[in-house]
């Protein structure tokens, strides 16, 4: 796939997942002059910031590279951008309900993992398909 296709997929997945907690969320893909790309995130027009990657639109990406980029951006958003006070125990683990899921890889796919149970995984973009 091209990096541009991966960017669009990631943008849509972030909107879907973050939108389950923040209904006014928006994710915009922005390109810079240095061949990098950022995912600029706002909630109701209020900026959270951006997660930056060094991929150009026209570059070819392997599935592995795309999944790693998805995880890198998701981790950056979770660790540095979203408001901590609004995400305590979010997204909740669908298996245990007493702790949040964390960004991670499961079977080479980026998404939300339970740190207690390696079998609990929600694919990036799939939070609306769980009771999380």
Strands 25-31 and 37-43: antiparallel
Structural domain spans, the chain: 3-129
pLDDT of 47? 96
pLDDT at 45 over 80: yes
pTM: 0.92
Tell me the average pLDDT of the chain. 92
Q: Give the closest residue to 29 by CA, choosing from 59, 9, 1.
A: 9
Q: What mean pLDDT comes out for the span 108-124?
A: 95
């Amino acid at each position: 796939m091209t990096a541009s296709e991966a960017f669009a997929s990631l943008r849509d997945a972030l909107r879907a997942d973050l939108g389950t907690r923040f209904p006014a969320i928006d994710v915009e893909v922005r390109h810079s002059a240095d061949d990098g790309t950022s995912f600029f995130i706002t909630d109701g027009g209020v900026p959270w910031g951006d997660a930056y990657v060094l991929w150009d639109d026209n570059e070819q990406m392997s599935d592995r590279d795309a999944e790693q980029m998805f995880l890198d951006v998701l981790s950056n958003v979770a660790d540095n951008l979203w408001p901590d006070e609004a995400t305590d125990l979010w997204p909740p683990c669908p298996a245990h309900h007493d702790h949040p899921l964390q960004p991670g890889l499961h079977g080479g796919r980026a998404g939300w993992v339970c740190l207690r149970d390696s079998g609990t995984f929600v694919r990036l973009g799939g939070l609306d398909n769980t009771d999380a």
